[in-house]
Amino acid sequence: MHRTILTLITEPSDSDTALAGQMHRVSAGLEELQFRMRWTHRGEDAMAVVGSDASLAAVLVSWEVPGADGLLRAVAERFQRLPVFLVSSGEDPPLWVYEVVQGYLYPLEDTPDFIAGRIAHAAERYAEQLLPPFFGALRRLENHHHYSWHTPAHAGGVAFLKSPVGRAFFDFFGERLLRTDLSISVPELGSPLDHTGPIGDAERNAARVFGADRTFFVVNGNSTANRVVAHHAIARDDAVLVDRNCHKSIQHALTITGARPVYLVPERNGLGLAGPVPPAALAAGAVRERLAAHSPPAGDPPYAVITNSTYDGLCYDAVRVGELLAESVPRLHFDEAWFAYARFNPMYARRYGMALDDRTLPAGRPTVFATQSSHKLLAALSQSAMLHVRPSERAPVDYERFNETYLMHASTSPLYPMIASLDVATAMMDGPSGAFLTGEAIVEAVRFRQAMARLAERVRADPGRPDWFFGAWQPPRVTDPRTGRTTDFAEADPELLATEPACWTLEPGASWHGFDGLEDGYCLLDPIKVTITCPGADAVEGTLESGIPARIVAAYLGRRGIVVEKTGDHTLLVLFSMGITKGKWGTLIDALFDFKNAYDGGVRLDALLPGFGPPGASLREFCDAAHGTLRDSDLGGLLDRVFTDLPEPVLTPAECHAALIRGGTERVPLDELPGRVVAATVVVTPPGIPMLMPGEAAGPADGPALAYLRALESFDLAFPDLAADVHGVRRDPGGRYLVEVVRR
Ligand SMILES: *Cc1c(COP(=O)(O)O)cnc(C)c1O
């Protein structure tokens, strides 16, 4: 595992000096102890190793080599407690170096074996203390090779060996995964249900790292974490405040609890992206009005839930949200499925739930919950999630009682490698490496965004070329708050963009984002979530005269082996997660460039995307036809009406579900939908905000919901290859929509 030792010593030309000779003997000693030596002679080379090799076990540096100081700083920025030895020289290094360095080596005074032994000991201790509580305990236990008499019945994988197909499974996943798949009755590892032993230690470690009072590991996904929080906070018939842009799991929680949801509606822009719920809608007066208008009038809500950040990377000033909602609710839940890294980079200061504490919000703050899909943007296995709690005096949390709700949703046989992955995801964010890893993703995203902006400028400057047309959704100009100087995004200092939140906040009224009703600093566009814009829509104006539907571009990228996260009418979302490698995005830009050339060059659709769209048309003709239909059907304008004029709630989600399981619902086509109560959540992506929720009235034939669904259905029928992603409607064999409704 950690067996690499990096040395930055003398030039090879000096290798006949006494010092170099002695260091080679030290190195031979270390190699005998199974360490691998990586020799470098220039500061830059050594820094490249530090930046890319996480298997380092120790670093040996001589201070005289130019760049030694840079190397030591790079080590301190990335690693916690990595042993660094200074190879002694006459010179005294500056004081800060003493903080980084663990010891000195005197190659001309001590024996090579002694020096090698000292380094090896430090390296081994480092590797041992790296392991967080649960992963460490699991590894030690695995080394002991116990016989197990408990479930799972495969007993460390042995059962699989008894069958040919089982053998294939065993060989594929490997013995170690199977050996560490243990039952909760193994006492050495503690209890995931009572939060004791190494599992409890791991959760406490996570609470420290994520800034929570208590952290619970949840291995049934953040969906389950959401249901636990809501189920803890809501009793039957409680009115609760729910971000309309919420995940399905919140909807399920409302069904389980018998809640009466009162929705907080986010902004949308002309690109069809969902923005934040504006501050005015969260203020106490506005909330009171919404509750009073509800039928039956709703009482004081015990709970509110906000999605932060949004899918498209818009993140709130969470402290401001807490302040606004403090008067209305004692418990505030941030669904941070896409945002577990927020605490580890100053870019996101104040923008995550656990940033709300007695210091940032001294008076009467609500109890805060944050739930995170650790697997989505940290390095954890799928389904692994965390639930963080920070109680307040207004709504104290008795953790034993809280655990009753936790147990209602927990499995009694969680997969331990998943728990280990949560423990490791936590440790990876601890200390300097959290800022290092998140910073690296931000830097790559900034490079990509600037490359896109520069490419547009270069193409524009080339008179022989038709104008470039893809863009990245971001402020076109940024201001350095220290100097007050404003520059084009493409020309801005990359360091400024990678570190200055003010470059990314949505200034009220700015036309690049197109959202109304914002306050200064209220909302920030996360640099790592990049929306690529295709021509045809504008953040303020909405759909334009001509354009290119993003689904065609996404289909082309798919053929090139590039899978985007999400596709809208004129937008594509790509994520710069910690898994990004340098230059991975170069391929994406190249593919966009090729698409553009094919479009300008009149390439036929069937040559570019065989089997896609009507035969015979050129790419450009197909884009024109599809965009023209999108534009004429005014889907954007119709969708705006859907969210301005929310449907009337008739039944609670729980009542609706009761009808569903008792045969009290049926599926009807759109022409029978007017006047009915829907029994499904109908969501169109984008914006991904539900347009109809279970128990809501579909409204009249000329109402917003039906007008929109009819327009969308006709678009889908005309362009089946570009059909929108509509959850909650089924299609009959002719492609017509069917919606689940409550029987009359
Ligand atoms: C993905 C997601 C969830 C659910 O998380 P899982 O870990 O997939 O169960 C919850 N909320 C939001 C906003 C999500 O995007």
**Model confidence pLDDT, tens digit, residues 6-58:** 998 875 555 567 877 888 899 999 999 999 999 998 999 999 999 889 999 99
3-state secondary structure of 368: strand
In this structure, the residue with its CA closest to atom 1 of ligand 1 is 337
Residue 295 in any domain: the answer is yes
CATH number reported for the structural domain that contains residue 229 in this entry: 3.40.640.10
Q: Do 457 and 339 have their domain in common?
A: no
Q: Is the CB of 226 under 6 A from ligand 1?
A: yes
Q: Do 532 and 645 have their domain in common?
A: no
Total tally of structural domains belonging to the chain: 5
Residue 311 alpha carbon to ligand 1 centre in Å: 10
Q: Do 347 and 457 have their domain in common?
A: no
Q: Mind listing the pLDDT tens digit for each residue in 234-275?
A: 999 999 999 999 999 999 999 999 999 999 999 999 998 999
Residue 14 alpha carbon to ligand 1 centre in Å: 58
Q: What is the pLDDT of residue 13?
A: 54
Residue 622 in any domain: the answer is yes
Q: Do 341 and 297 have their domain in common?
A: yes
Ligand 1 pocket: which of 244, 335, 566 to mutate (most atoms within 8 A of CB): 335
Q: Do 117 and 156 have their domain in common?
A: no
* 85 touches 59 (CB < 8 A): yes
Ligand 1 pocket: which of 219, 220, 222 to mutate (most atoms within 8 A of CB): 222
Instruction: Assign 293 a pLDDT band (cuts: 50, 70, 90).
Output: confident
Q: Do 461 and 516 have their domain in common?
A: yes
Going by DSSP bridges, is the β-strand pair 477-479/486-488 parallel, antiparallel, or unpaired?
Answer: antiparallel
Q: How far apart are CA 369 and CA 441, in angstroms?
A: 26
Ligand 1 pocket: which of 373, 383, 573, 689 to mutate (most atoms within 8 A of CB): 373
Residue 221 alpha carbon to ligand 1 centre in Å: 7
Residue 270 in any domain: the answer is yes
On the CB side of 84, CA atoms within 13 Å amount to 26
In this structure, the residue with its CA closest to atom 5 of ligand 1 is 222
> At residue 144, does pLDDT exceed 80?
no
Q: Do 72 and 138 have their domain in common?
A: no
In this structure, the residue with its CA closest to atom 2 of ligand 1 is 337
Q: Is the CB of 385 under 6 A from ligand 1?
A: yes
Q: Is the CB of 247 under 6 A from ligand 1?
A: yes
Record the tokens describing residue 186, joined without a space: 């193994």
Average pLDDT over the chain reads 92
Record the tokens describing residue 141, joined without a space: 């236990």
Q: How far apart are CA 603 and CA 218, in angstroms?
A: 51
Record the tokens describing residue 516, joined without a space: 């109304």
Beta bridge partners of 85: 60, 103
Q: Is the CB of 337 under 6 A from ligand 1?
A: yes
Residue 448 in any domain: the answer is yes
Among candidate residues 179, 212, 247, the one where a domain is terminated: 179
Query: At 667, phi and psi to the nearest 5?
Result: -105, 130
Instruction: Assign 589 a pLDDT band (cuts: 50, 70, 90).
Output: very high
Q: Mind listing the pLDDT tens digit for each residue in 407-451?
A: 999 999 999 999 999 999 999 999 999 999 999 999 999 999 999
Residue 310 alpha carbon to ligand 1 centre in Å: 11
In this structure, the residue with its CA closest to atom 14 of ligand 1 is 337
Residue 699 in any domain: the answer is yes
Residue 70 alpha carbon to ligand 1 centre in Å: 41
Q: Do 560 and 671 have their domain in common?
A: no
Which of 144-153, 291-300, 688-697 is predicted least confidently? Answer: 144-153
Atom of ligand 1 nearest to the CA of 307: 13
- Give CA separation, 712 vs 416, 630, 631, 640, 717, in Å: 45, 9, 12, 14, 9
Q: What is the pLDDT of residue 18?
A: 80
Cβ–Cβ contacts within 10 Å for residue 227, how many?
Answer: 25
> At residue 97, does pLDDT exceed 80?
yes
Q: Do 730 and 614 have their domain in common?
A: no
Among candidate residues 410, 426, 443, the one where a domain is terminated: 410
Q: Is the CB of 223 under 6 A from ligand 1?
A: yes
- For the chain, what's the residue count? 744
Q: Is the CB of 336 under 6 A from ligand 1?
A: no
Nearest in space to 533 (alpha carbons), one of 565, 564, 572: 572
Beta bridge partners of 314: 525
Q: Is the CB of 221 under 6 A from ligand 1?
A: yes
* 523 touches 557 (CB < 8 A): no
Q: What is the pLDDT of residue 143?
A: 75
CATH number reported for the structural domain that contains residue 22 in this entry: 3.40.50.2300
Q: Is the CB of 384 under 6 A from ligand 1?
A: no
Q: What is the pLDDT of residue 16?
A: 65
Q: What is the pLDDT of residue 12?
A: 56
Of 139-148, 331-340, 558-567, 636-645, highest mean pLDDT: 331-340
Residue 204 in any domain: the answer is no
Q: Do 465 and 541 have their domain in common?
A: yes
Q: Do 123 and 150 have their domain in common?
A: no
> At residue 296, does pLDDT exceed 80?
no
Give every CB contact of residue 739 below 8 A, 6+ residues apart in sequence. Answer: 667, 668, 670, 673, 678, 680, 682, 692, 698, 709, 728, 729, 730
Q: Mind listing the pLDDT tens digit for each residue in 69-93?
A: 999 999 998 998 999 999 876 677 8
Q: What is the pLDDT of residue 14?
A: 55
Q: Do 303 and 366 have their domain in common?
A: yes
* 672 touches 709 (CB < 8 A): no
Determine the structural domain holding residue 287 and report its residue range.
220-410
Mean per-residue pLDDT for 491-508? 97
Nearest in space to 38 (alpha carbons), one of 78, 63, 68, 9: 9
Q: Mind listing the pLDDT tens digit for each residue in 448-473?
A: 999 999 999 888 888 888 888 999 99
Residue 417 in any domain: the answer is no
Q: Mind listing the pLDDT tens digit for each residue in 164-187?
A: 999 999 999 999 999 899 888 888
Residue 225 alpha carbon to ligand 1 centre in Å: 9
Of 79-83, 149-153, 503-507, highest mean pLDDT: 503-507
- Tell me the H-state helices in 215-365: 221-233, 248-257, 279-282, 284-293, 318-325
Which of 145-159, 253-267, 383-397, 668-682 is predicted least confidently? Answer: 145-159
CATH number reported for the structural domain that contains residue 693 in this entry: 3.90.100.10
Atom of ligand 1 nearest to the CA of 220: 9
* 434 touches 425 (CB < 8 A): no
Residue 665 in any domain: the answer is yes
CATH number reported for the structural domain that contains residue 552 in this entry: 3.90.1150.10
Among candidate residues 112, 130, 148, the one where a domain is terminated: 130
Give Cα 110 distance to the centre of its chain. Answer: 51
